[in-house]
Amino acid sequence: MKVQDLHIETGIYNKREVSKEFKDETLSILYNILKADIDDVSDLENFLQNVVQASASIVSAHSSKLVLFKEKELEQSPVLNAPEKISRTDHSINIPLILRGLDHPMGYIEVNGKRDGTPFDLRDVVSLLMMGRQATLKIENDLFYRGIYDNMLEMLNSLVNIIESRDPYIRCHSSRVTHYALTIAKDLDLSVEEMNIIRISSLLHDIGKIGIPDSILIKEGNLTPDEWDIIRTHSLIGENIVKPLAFLVKEGEIIRAHHECYDGSGYPDGLKGDEIPLSARIIAVADSYDAMTSHRPYRKAKSSSKSLQEIEELQCIKYDPMIVQSFKRCLENKV
């Protein structure tokens, strides 16, 4: 997300009466705002609108307006030694929102007219400055975290691409599994948060294969029992790769469990039924279908109908029947 992409002007009017005690508790008002996540432009816009509404509350103003990228030269307040260029009259206060790295403020909070008709005072300026500084710090922290998050995912995705480049038969496998898994998740009406977890888990589900020797990973003949034991370690290796990343805890659990079977015969933990995370049960179906419908050195690709038939025959054994029926609906609707 780039803050520079935002070009909006919006007015927020707060007509709710607030008590003097609540008015003076600026940080209490900020609490519900600052605990929100800012992941994209719409989140940032909503966050800023909430800041504006809170600004009107803490100074008991009649209205407060957010203006982004409005060219405006503000004079330093003569009564407050602050680095921000602010302006204040008896009937309005203008506070810039300054982010590090930007040449100009990303916007201004314009607060107008006290509801009780009294002029704005120094306490109002201090409250709004506190609000502005906390809001911009929140935006900076979330954007910084998001940047790290995106960079780490790009790095992990590069590892997946390295794995798939080792075997031309599985190229783009992870992206296809992700498509199928998200299609199932949408059919099951899962939340946006759950779908995001599935998106990342699906892309990274085979990342542990980077630790499997080529002599086993791309072997054209049948694998020996010992070689199968080595292959089965890839889900544990994958979990260990993402484990140091605190923001991928759930995804790590799903990567670990995506080869568990509904009847408990899978690996590595022998989980069964609802013990297996829902996202892992979804990925198991998507993964198997793509494997069946893709060419391998030791066999030709199976048809979609034949693959679906095999998956249906294994529901309640290897696969969650609810997931199987959901995927069947998706294929019938050609999504």
Q: Is the dihedral of CA 13, 16, 19, 25 positive or negative?
A: negative
Q: What pTM was computed for the model? A: 0.63
Higher pLDDT, 151 or 316: 316
Structure tokens at 192: 């946006």
Kindly report which listed range (73-82, 144-153, 321-330) carries the lowest average pLDDT score. Answer: 73-82
pLDDT at 169 over 80: no
Q: What is the CA radius of gyration of the chain?
A: 27
Strand partners, 56: none
Residue 170 pLDDT: 73
Q: Rounded to whole angstroms, what are the CA distances from 127 to 48, 59, 124, 154?
A: 16, 7, 5, 41
Return d(Cα 203, Cα 192) in angstroms, integer.
Answer: 17
Question: Which residue in the block uniquely carries the two structure tokens 């079977």?
Answer: 261
Structure tokens at 8: 């909006």
Higher pLDDT, 20 or 324: 324
Higher pLDDT, 16 or 58: 58
The pLDDT tens digits for 87-119 are 777 788 888 888 876 677 778 888 898 888 899
The pLDDT tens digits for 256-305 are 999 999 999 999 999 999 999 999 999 999 999 999 998 876 678 899 99
Using a pLDDT cut of 90, give the percent of the chain over it: 36
Residue 160, class by beta-carbon neighbours within 10 Å (0-12 exposed, 13-18 middle, 19+ buried)? Answer: buried
Q: Rounded to whole angstroms, what are the CA distances from 54 to 26, 223, 291?
A: 9, 64, 53
For residue 101, the SS3 value is coil
Q: Which of 6, 317, 308 is nearest to 143 (CA)?
A: 6
Instruction: Return the amino acid letter for 173.
Output: H
Kindly report which listed range (23-32, 242-251, 286-295) carries the lowest average pLDDT score. Answer: 23-32
Q: Domains in the chain, start-ordered, CATH in brackets? A: 3-143 (3.30.450.40), 167-332 (1.10.3210.10)
Q: Grade residue 11 by pLDDT with cuts at 50, 70 and 90.
A: very low
For residue 63, the SS3 value is strand
Can you tell me the mean pLDDT for 64-82?
A: 58
Return d(Cα 214, Cα 29) in angstroms, integer.
Answer: 58
Average pLDDT over the chain reads 81
The pLDDT tens digits for 207-218 are 999 899 988 888
Backbone angles phi, psi at 108, to 5 degrees: -135, 145
At CA 193, angle to CA 189 and CA 195, rounded to 5? 55
